Chain A
């Protein structure tokens, strides 16, 4: 099957739409301990991702057409260790997919069908992903454009409607913080932005025109979106209350009402957010398929993707039932693992490749 090429803009739209799924979870919970200054941390948190992507793009420019992050590993570390890296990355992406599904199921079920098991959500979204994974990446990207507009408009509406409740004293003074928590907050947020890295395995399918400016544009948009979400949530709930909420963005959506009579907008927002979950899971399954395909060459990559989707449901069911336990596992192992796989390994590959004069 001939690979369909997509434009940089389409790729940016899909990546942005999918990033809104982990971001509403993480912003501002992962930075809440920095107090009134936490909203500012969203900007430096983008720098590690931006830096890594900049050097990756520079490297890809010098590589043959159709190369992605997996090719960087193969070229830098050689065939054997490159394949090991690819398999390791496939495992990482599947882990991300499983954990994401768990978080999204919790969020959706809590808002829309409280007191119901999460199995129905898992099955429904995995059936959808199964269908997506059988199709072409181009189809997912074209769908991504619709998802992007629906989710962005919903986000904008929530932020605009909740804006009158914003209090300046909740976001100011920014000096009311702890330097250690500022540093940790940036690291935690950078670990969340690692969710954007699996999409780099699909860069080989992207036709680049002005990649540096395009990259900068999308990173700025991502940073501003995070900043707006953080300012709004922090401004409405204040640092202490915000730190106690499970998903503050959905609590913010719950705060929206018309004359205190028309309420329940959070259900619409939660339902809309399934679109970002779909974009993320779709992108992850394609990325996992792509990276595994480089390690174990197969004629029909869609079979790999379907097999991976089928693997996800039993893995989801193996996760601990307790949300507190999940959170502890994520903090203890998930965050460092994300940091290592999304930043350390690609940077190591780029440095090793440079030293070995591969580009």
Chain B
């Protein structure tokens, strides 16, 4: 029996080596001809078609130098067809297994991004942890083309954006998975908005708040205030900064070291009447200009008060949008988690409650410390 098994294995191996039936075996790809796509751009094409632009990262040459990223573009009825046309075009092979960002053009966002989301969900190469971005204006493909240089590609730009989002605290990184989880929860979802920024030696990418989506279609764009408010209310983008202007003595630069939002819920019998956002913010004093005496307790209290007012203003801006559009902050989920026994009632009456619901924001700020500039000077 052992001999028969060995013979069978040998026959099978020999059969494979002849390559008599290529469909039977996995298709091999020459690694030197495989191009790894890192960023994919989705735009609205003509006649309900979709335009796909893909970009690789900066290419490394054999001598250690760098070359411009490869950018390819195709238009088709579906995202899949366009991607396939790009993949099978030319002698090389384009792999989508390493796509880390997907950027959507404004027109495509207005028409709905269900096709690209479905493609990413189903395709065996694409990943659900791909980051999503939306263009503030214009085509996403243009962004890929304009940001491509020998030093950087759109991929590097987006990775920088991903790192700086928490600092700016006006938006947060959103993956396809996170977008879909929110979307399937109540139809509302958000993604960060990016814009093309003219720089001295080319183009860069900047952020511009968050975009609101309802049922995969662009519903509105939150301005910077409301976006920052949404960040605070959803405990996203935790580390940020804020400048507080004082009445007569200049400006104070504050680094927000910790922000936390907790919700309390008010009921009148079985009716939800109010929700209060309890915001707690801890900040460090990073810069002071003008005549500010930090030894004065009243001055510190004044800074804290003004910081609280600014934060409250941002949270209120986000909550006003919540009232205007619908539950994009997913507060229903928050209430349901706190009151599991009332889940049926919450699901059925949420829309009705939202119209009459009173939102309150209670912000507490603490300035913990000032950076000791003098110590650094002494050490140097």
* A contacts, CB < 8 Å to B: 110-117, 119-120, 123, 127, 130-131, 134, 165, 167-170, 172-176, 236-238, 240-241, 244-245, 251, 254-255, 257, 260, 263-264, 306
Contact = CB atoms under 8 A, between A and B. Distances in A.
Contact of B124 (A111, A174, A236): A111
B25 A116 contact: yes
B73 to A, nearest CB: 24
B54 interface: no
B97 A173 contact: no
Interface in B324-374: 330, 333-334, 336-337, 340-341, 343, 347
A168 B5 CA distance: 52
Interface stretch (B179-187, B199-207, B236-244): B179-187
Chain A residues touching B, majority SS: helix
Q: Which 7 A-B pairs have the closest CB atoms?
A: A240-B184, A173-B340, A113-B26, A238-B181, A175-B340, A116-B26, A175-B343
B297 interface: no
A123 B185 CA distance: 44
With most chain A CB atoms within 10 A of its CB, the pick from B97, B124, B185 is B124
B181 A170 contact: yes
A257 B175 CA distance: 13
Given A116-B27, A127-B12, A238 B185 contact: yes
A114 B343 contact: no
A114 B12 contact: no
A95 to B, nearest CB: 25
A355 B52 CA distance: 71
Interface residues of B, number: 34
Given A127-B5, A263-B98, 17 more contacts: A110-B124, A114-B125, A115-B27, A116-B27, A120-B24, A123-B12, A130-B5, A134-B1, A168-B337, A169-B333, A169-B337, A176-B336, A176-B340, A237-B177, A240-B184, A240-B185, A251-B128
A244 B8 contact: no
A123 to B, nearest CB: 7
Nearest to B159: A260
A173 B128 contact: no
A231 to B, nearest CB: 15
A165 B129 CA distance: 10
Interface of B: 1, 5, 8-9, 12, 23-27, 97-98, 100, 121, 124-125, 127-129, 159, 177, 180-181, 184-185, 330, 333-334, 336-337, 340-341, 343, 347
Contacts, number: 80
Contacts of A112: 26
B100 A254 contact: no
Given A241-B180, A263-B97, A172 B337 contact: yes
B97 to A, nearest CB: 7
20 contacts: A116-B25, A119-B24, A127-B9, A131-B5, A134-B5, A168-B337, A169-B337, A173-B343, A176-B340, A237-B177, A238-B184, A241-B184, A244-B121, A254-B127, A255-B177, A257-B129, A260-B100, A260-B159, A263-B97, A264-B97
Nearest to B124: A114
Contacts of A255: 127-129, 177
Nearest to A255: B129
Nearest to B130: A260
B41 to A, nearest CB: 18
Choose among A170, A173, A236 the residue with the greatest number of B CB atoms under 10 Å from its CB.
Answer: A173
A241 B177 contact: yes
A311 to B, nearest CB: 16
Nearest to B101: A260
B344 to A, nearest CB: 8
Contacts of B27: 115-116
Contacts of B127: 254-255, 263
Contact of B341 (A123, A175, A257): A175
Nearest to A257: B129
Contacts of B1: 134, 306
Contacts of B12: 123, 127
A176 B346 CA distance: 10
Nearest to B127: A254
Contacts of B26: 112-113, 116, 120
B24 A173 contact: no
Given A113-B26, A127-B8, A241-B181, A254 B343 contact: no
Nearest to A173: B340
Nearest to A114: B124
A32 to B, nearest CB: 12
B107 to A, nearest CB: 27
Nearest to B123: A114
Contacts of A251: 128
A244 B341 CA distance: 28
Contacts of B184: 238, 240-241
A89 to B, nearest CB: 26
Contact of A120 (B25, B124, B185, B347): B25
B38 to A, nearest CB: 10
Contacts of B333: 169
Contacts of B5: 127, 130-131, 134
A134 to B, nearest CB: 5
A245 B334 CA distance: 25
A259 to B, nearest CB: 10
Nearest to B181: A238
Contacts of B337: 168-169, 172-173
Contacts of B8: 127
A167 B181 contact: yes
